[in-house]
Amino acid sequence: MDAKATTDGHTGVRLPASLSALLEALGQTARFVGRFFRQVFVPPYELGEVVRQCYLIGNGSLLLVGLTAFIMGLVLALQSLPTLEDFGAESMAPSMVSISVVREIGPVITAIICAGKVGSSIGAELAGMRVTEQIDAMEVSAVNPFKYLVVSRVLACTLMLPLLVVYADAISLLGGLAGVNIYGDTSWVLYKSHVFASVEFYDLVPALIKSVFFGFFIGIASCVAGYNATNGTEGVGQAANSAVVASILWVFVLDMLAVQITNVAYELYFAPSITL
């Protein structure tokens, strides 16, 4: 890092450009989060726009999420069965698929899909409105563009992602059933009994809670990229790309934190109650 003398005689440190850009992005995100919570509870409430965005996000993602989830469950079952056969534990395949999907794979893969599809859409849409001065026109017309454009989209992402995760988990389990039956013959009743016997309250609730945070930060990161877009039409593509990259990074960071928190909670509240 280069040192640079300031005008008051003190020595300042010039940060690398990449680190400076990262800190600036984190600052913008923090300001957006603070501004969101200051405005979300203040009328007027844009309920119609929230419902419209929920429909666009949820309905527009059903096919892609469902197809990906089915393939994910199918591949997970096919990959695990040969290893389980070596130990004579083929009957554990439904339990392994269900726990893996519900705890980790379902929420993370669904969030990544939404980061790519929904994040790029929000980033490009808001960037297009910014560079064509539509947002400025809303401000001149005494309309709060942040509340109408940002708050509604963040709320929609936060509400819809947990629902998409539940939908993806169900489709993944059906894919796991198809994968198990490729190598053997397992009835739906037997498969279902193994799945519900292995999945517990502790598995489902933390996954849904972290999916709420996934949706919130996907919405925030996408709106930050689009709302602050510059450089004309070129900035639209840059905003869409930045929205996807930032959203996926937030998903992985939040997932890492969620795993640590749930492990600590399990050790404190669940493990002491387990007796041999």
Residue 17 has pLDDT above 70, yes or no: no
Count of domains in the chain? 1
d(CA 65, CA 114): 8
The CA–CA distances, whole Å, from 136 to 33, 40, 140, 143, 222 equal 21, 21, 6, 10, 19
Q: Which domain holds residue 251?
A: 29-36+44-270
Q: What is the pLDDT of residue 4?
A: 43
Residue 20, domain member (yes or no)? no
The secondary structure of 238-251, three-state, reads: HHHHHHHHHHHHHH
Q: Radius of gyration over alpha carbons of the chain, in Å?
A: 23
For the ranges 61-70, 89-98, 164-173, the lowest mean pLDDT is seen at: 89-98
Q: What is the pLDDT of residue 276?
A: 44
Which residues share a beta bridge with 4? 12
For the ranges 43-52, 181-190, 209-218, the lowest mean pLDDT is seen at: 181-190
Q: What is the pLDDT of residue 11?
A: 46
d(CA 243, CA 129): 15
**Phi, psi at residue 3, to the nearest 5°?**
-95, 145
Place 272 in a pLDDT band, splitting at 50, 70 and 90: low
Residue 115, domain member (yes or no)? yes
Name the amino acid, one letter, at 210. K
**Phi, psi at residue 184, to the nearest 5°?**
-150, -160
Place 2 in a pLDDT band, splitting at 50, 70 and 90: very low
Which pTM was predicted? 0.84
Place of tokens 């040969």: 82
Residue 150, domain member (yes or no)? yes
Q: What is the pLDDT of residue 16?
A: 64
Residue 80, domain member (yes or no)? yes
What would the pLDDT profile of 119-137 be if each residue is shown by its tens digit? 999 999 998 888 888 888 8
DSSP 41: T
Residue 13, domain member (yes or no)? no
Structural tokens at position 35: 């501004």
d(CA 53, CA 156): 6
Residue 134, domain member (yes or no)? yes
d(CA 180, CA 73): 10
d(CA 258, CA 253): 9
Residue 220 has pLDDT above 90, yes or no: yes
The CA–CA distances, whole Å, from 21 to 17, 68, 85 equal 6, 34, 50
Q: What is the pLDDT of residue 263?
A: 78
Residue 224, domain member (yes or no)? yes
Across the range 238-248, mean pLDDT stands at: 90
First to last CA, the chain: 56
Q: What is the pLDDT of residue 21?
A: 74
Q: What is the pLDDT of residue 156?
A: 94
Residue 178, domain member (yes or no)? yes
Note whether 42 and 33 are within 8 A (CB).
no
